[in-house]
Amino acid sequence: MKKLFISLLVACSFMLVVFLAPTQANAAQKIGIVFSESSEKYANTTHPGGTFNGQPVSEKVDYSSTYNKELKAFHLYQQQGFQVEKIYERDLNNLENLSQYDAIVFAYTVMMNHQQRENVKMYVRNGGGAIFAFQTARNESTKFPKPGQMDLSPLIYDVDSWVMEWDNLTEVFNSRFLDDIVLEHSTISNINTVHPIIQNTTKELGKSKLNLTKTDRDWVEVMKPWQGGSATPILYFSDYNYTDKPKTMKKNEFGAAHAIEYGKGRVVQIGFKIYDYINIDAKADWQDNENGAAYTTTNGDKDAQVFMKHALNWVAEKHNGYVPRRYNLSLYSDGVQSYVAPSGKFIFYSTVTVKNIGNVPARGTLKVEILDANDKVVGNGHERYIPGLAADSTTNNADQKDISTHTEKYQISMPGNLAAGTYTIRTSFIEGRDDRKNADEKFATIAEIKTLTRAKGSNKATIASAPFFPDVSPSNGAYYDIKNLYALGIVKGTNGKFNPQGTLTRLQATEMILRALGIPASSSATLNASDIKAGDYGYAVLATGLRYGIIALENGKINAHQPMTRGAMARALVNGFKLQGYTNNTFSDVPTSHAYYKDVQALYALGITTGYADNTFKPTGTVTRQNFAQFVNRTLYTNSK
First to last CA, the chain: 70
Q: Which of the four pLDDT bands, split at 50, 70 and 90, describes residue 131?
A: very high
Neighbours of 164 (CB within 10 A): 25
Q: What is the H or E stretch that residue 24 is in?
A: helix 2-28
pLDDT recorded at residue 25: 56
The C-alpha angle 442, 444, 449, rounded to 5 degrees, equals: 160
Flag whether pLDDT at 617 surpasses 90: yes
Q: What percent of the chain has pLDDT over 90?
A: 79
The alpha carbon of residue 520 and the mean position of all alpha carbons in its chain are separated, in whole angstroms, by: 27
pLDDT recorded at residue 359: 92
Whether the Cβ atoms of residue 57 and residue 108 lie closer than 8 Å to each other: no
pLDDT recorded at residue 379: 86
Q: How far apart (Å, rounded) are the C-alpha atoms in residues 308 and 76?
A: 9
Flag whether pLDDT at 5 surpasses 50: no
The β-bridge relationship of strands 129-133 and 265-270 is: parallel
Q: Which of 63-77, 151-165, 223-237, 610-624 has the lowest mean pLDDT?
A: 151-165
Q: What is the H or E stretch that residue 111 is in?
A: strand 111-112
Tell me the whole-structure pTM to 2 decimals. 0.91
pLDDT in tens, 418-438: 899 999 999 999 998 888 766
Specify whether domain 29-178+222-236+254-316 bears CATH 3.40.50.
yes
pLDDT recorded at residue 280: 97
Neighbours of 1 (CB within 10 A): 5
Flag whether pLDDT at 47 surpasses 80: yes
Whether the Cβ atoms of residue 139 and residue 113 lie closer than 8 Å to each other: no
pLDDT recorded at residue 440: 63
Specify whether domain 326-467 bears CATH 2.60.40.1470.
yes
Q: What are phi and psi of 462, to 5 degrees?
A: -100, 130
Flag whether pLDDT at 378 surpasses 60: yes
Flag whether pLDDT at 19 surpasses 60: no
pLDDT in tens, 61-79: 999 999 999 999 999 999 9
Total residue count of the chain as it appears in this document: 641
Q: What are the domain boundaries of the chain?
A: 29-178+222-236+254-316, 326-467, 471-641
Q: Is 424 helix (H, G, I), strand (E, B) or coil?
A: strand
The β-bridge relationship of strands 346-356 and 329-340 is: antiparallel
Whether the Cβ atoms of residue 132 and residue 270 lie closer than 8 Å to each other: yes
DSSP letter string, 441-463? GSEEEEEEEEEEEE-TT-SB-EE
Spell out the alpha helix ranges (H) of 394-538.
479-488, 506-517
pLDDT recorded at residue 396: 56
Q: What are phi and psi of 114, to 5 degrees?
A: -60, -45
Provide mean pLDDT across the span 365-389. 93
pLDDT recorded at residue 184: 98
Flag whether pLDDT at 587 surpasses 80: yes
Q: How far apart (Å, rounded) are the C-alpha atoms in residues 550 and 522?
A: 14
Provide mean pLDDT across the span 356-380. 93
Q: Which of the four pLDDT bands, split at 50, 70 and 90, describes residue 108?
A: very high
pLDDT recorded at residue 435: 81
The alpha carbon of residue 546 and the mean position of all alpha carbons in its chain are separated, in whole angstroms, by: 28
Q: How far apart (Å, rounded) are the C-alpha atoms in residues 173 and 175?
A: 5
Flag whether pLDDT at 8 surpasses 60: no
Q: Which of the four pLDDT bands, split at 50, 70 and 90, describes residue 569?
A: very high
**Nearest residue to 391 (alpha-carbon basis) of 366, 363, 364, 367:** 363
**Nearest residue to 271 (alpha-carbon basis) of 316, 235, 311, 247:** 235
Strands (E), 455-569: 462-465
Q: Is 48 helix (H, G, I), strand (E, B) or coil?
A: coil
3-state SS track over 269-297: EECCCHHHHCCCCCCCCCCCCCCCCCCCC
Mean residue pLDDT across the chain: 91
Phi-psi bin for 6: left (phi > 0), alpha (psi -120 to 50), beta?
alpha
